[in-house]
């Protein structure tokens, strides 16, 4: 495994996106347990995209305008839904008591956020093969290894983001003005990510 892959993957994972935003918001409003669940869910959400890239399904998605556009607009709609839920003090910004039901909700939301983003499949389809030599006699095990490392890095870095946010929640939990600003900020971020996905062109 090359150092180039590790550095590139680290930069990609550490750059804030939908999964990182969700994990941070979960940590701020639901605490450390929820932030770990959100990091796990965000990692699970990229698994189908990695598998699509490895098996070539991403190439089909890339060539099928109908399939790509359908998945893209589902992703946009879900991001806007998350923004609306955030403004209503639900979803990732809802206080909870750490119940199992809320834990499963965090997981479901986190998985869907990444799952409904077709750009991830196309990204991994272009990204992974760069680090597998064309002359490699067994490219599949190598791509699976790279995928596993990428997932591990995603979980660890997102968990760090989330736990840091959870550590800060005591400073904002009793301040209504801060909470109101926080809700609006996260809602605006979800809207911005949805708009970027809607305006993106493959």
Over residues 148-191, the pLDDT tens digits come to 898 899 999 999 999 998 888 767 666 667 667 777 777 787 78
Burial 159-175 (b: 16+ CB within 10 A, else e): bebbbebbeebeebeee
* pLDDT tens-digit series, residues 88-101: 764 444 445 455 66
Identity of the highest mean pLDDT range in 1-15, 72-86, 163-177:
1-15
Give the mean pLDDT of 41-53: 85
Residue 171: which H helix or E strand, with range? none
Displacement of CA 159 from its chain's centroid (Å): 12
Q: How far apart are CA 149 and CA 2, in angstroms?
A: 12
Other beta carbons within 10 Å of 64: 12
102-125 pLDDT, tens per residue?
Answer: 778 888 888 888 777 766 777 777
Sign of CA dihedral 81, 84, 86, 90: negative
- Per mean pLDDT, which range of 9-13, 48-52, 136-140 is the poorest? 136-140
Determine the Cα–Cα distance for residues 24 and 42; give it in Å rounded to an integer.
Answer: 11
Domain extents for the chain? 16-199
Q: What is the pLDDT of residue 91?
A: 44
* Average predicted confidence (pLDDT) for the chain: 76
């Amino acid at each position: 495994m090359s150092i180039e892959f590790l550095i590139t993957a680290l930069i990609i994972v550490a750059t804030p996106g939908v999964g990182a935003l969700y994990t941070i918001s979960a940590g701020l409003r639901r605490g450390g347990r929820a932030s770990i669940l959100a990091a796990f869910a965000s990692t699970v959400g990229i698994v189908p995209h990695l598998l699509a890239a490895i098996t070539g399904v991403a190439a089909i998605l890339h060539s099928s305008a109908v399939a790509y556009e359908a998945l893209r607009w589902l992703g946009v709609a879900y991001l806007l839904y998350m923004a609306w839920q955030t403004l209503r003090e639900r979803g990732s910004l809802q206080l909870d008591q750490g119940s199992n039901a809320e834990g499963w909700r965090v997981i479901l939301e986190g998985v869907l956020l990444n799952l409904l983003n077709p750009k991830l499949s196309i990204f991994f389809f272009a990204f992974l093969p760069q680090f597998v030599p064309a002359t490699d006699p067994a490219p599949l095990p190598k791509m699976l290894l790279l995928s596993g490392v990428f997932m591990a890095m995603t979980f660890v870095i997102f968990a760090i983001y989330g736990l840091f946010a959870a550590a800060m929640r005591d400073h904002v939990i009793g301040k209504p003005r801060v909470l109101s600003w926080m809700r609006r900020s996260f809602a605006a971020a979800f809207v911005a990510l949805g708009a970027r996905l809607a305006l993106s062109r493959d």
